[in-house]
Structure 1
Amino acid sequence: MEAAGRTTRVLVGIETDMCVAHSAIQLHHAGKRVAVVDDATYSPGRAHERGLRRLADRGIELLSAKEFFYDWVRTIEYANTNIFHDTHADLTLPPGVRL
């Protein structure tokens, strides 16, 4: 990722309050732009919400999978074309997104 010049890291995973949080915070301190997909992370009970609050309090961006998808494809017009989907045929559409 460094060689490609990518400075943004998108995180998903389990243990929002521990594994995801620690990874996100370390990357953020290293100067990376960090986004956590909040509905693609999990911790049991209240730990999930507490982990998300901890991240938000540190300035780490929280996005839903749908928000991430549309940010990634940049425009609604591009998202609604087959160009993106043909280029990324291995990806599935998020729930609620139709061509």
Structure 2
Amino acid sequence: MEELLLRDIAAAIHATGRGTLVLVGLETDICVAHSAIRRHEAGKRVAVAHNATFSPGPAHEAGLRRPDAQGIETLTVKEMPYGWMRTIEAANAFHNGPRDLGFPQEVVL
């Protein structure tokens, strides 16, 4: 049953046609790390938002080291869009773009 669910989730991700996944969630050392590694091995660009994941105690840091060792990006939520835009021009275009996309409450314009 669990394997069927995982295949359904993988199929749904693939059906979006998107090549980049941003992972957040609980149990950084198990759920997040395993998901990141499996999707990376499946050819997706994967980033883990390390300040939007959690495991108790040292398990959180251990869970971030595993994807990092596989070449998977680990960034803060705030770093992601700006790190990926790379230029001032792209950042300005992002800020001047469609307003219906909205911004997280933590982002101050």
TM-score range, shorter chain: 0.7 to 0.9
Q: 1:77 aligns with which of 80, 92, 96?
A: 92
Q: Shift of the alpha carbon at 1:54?
A: 1.1
Q: How far off is 1:78 after superposition?
A: 2.5
Aligned residue runs from structure 1 range 1-99, under 5 A: 1-71=13-83, 74=85, 75-81=90-96, 83-84=97-98, 86-89=99-102, 91-93=103-105, 95=106, 97-99=107-109
Q: What is the TM-score when the length of structure 2 is the normalising length?
A: 0.73
- Whole-angstrom distance in 1 between the partners of 2:95 and 2:37: 34
1:79: Cα distance to partner? 3.9
> 4+ residue stretches of structure 1 with deviation over 4 A?
none
Identity score, percent: 52
Q: Is the 8 A contact 1:70 1:79 kept in 2?
A: no
What amino acid does structure 2 have at the position aligned with 1:98? Answer: V
Q: Secondary structure at the match of 2:14?
A: coil
Superposed CA RMSD in Å reads 1.9
Which whole-Å CA distance do the structure 2 matches of 1:60 and 1:43 have between them?
Answer: 18
* Aligned-pair CA distance for 1:2: 3.0
CA drift of 1:76 comes to 2.2
Could you say what secondary structure the match of 1:65 adopts? coil
Q: How far apart are residue 50 of structure 1 and its match?
A: 0.7
| Higher relative helix content | 2
Q: How many residues align?
A: 93
TM-score normalised according to structure 1 size: 0.79
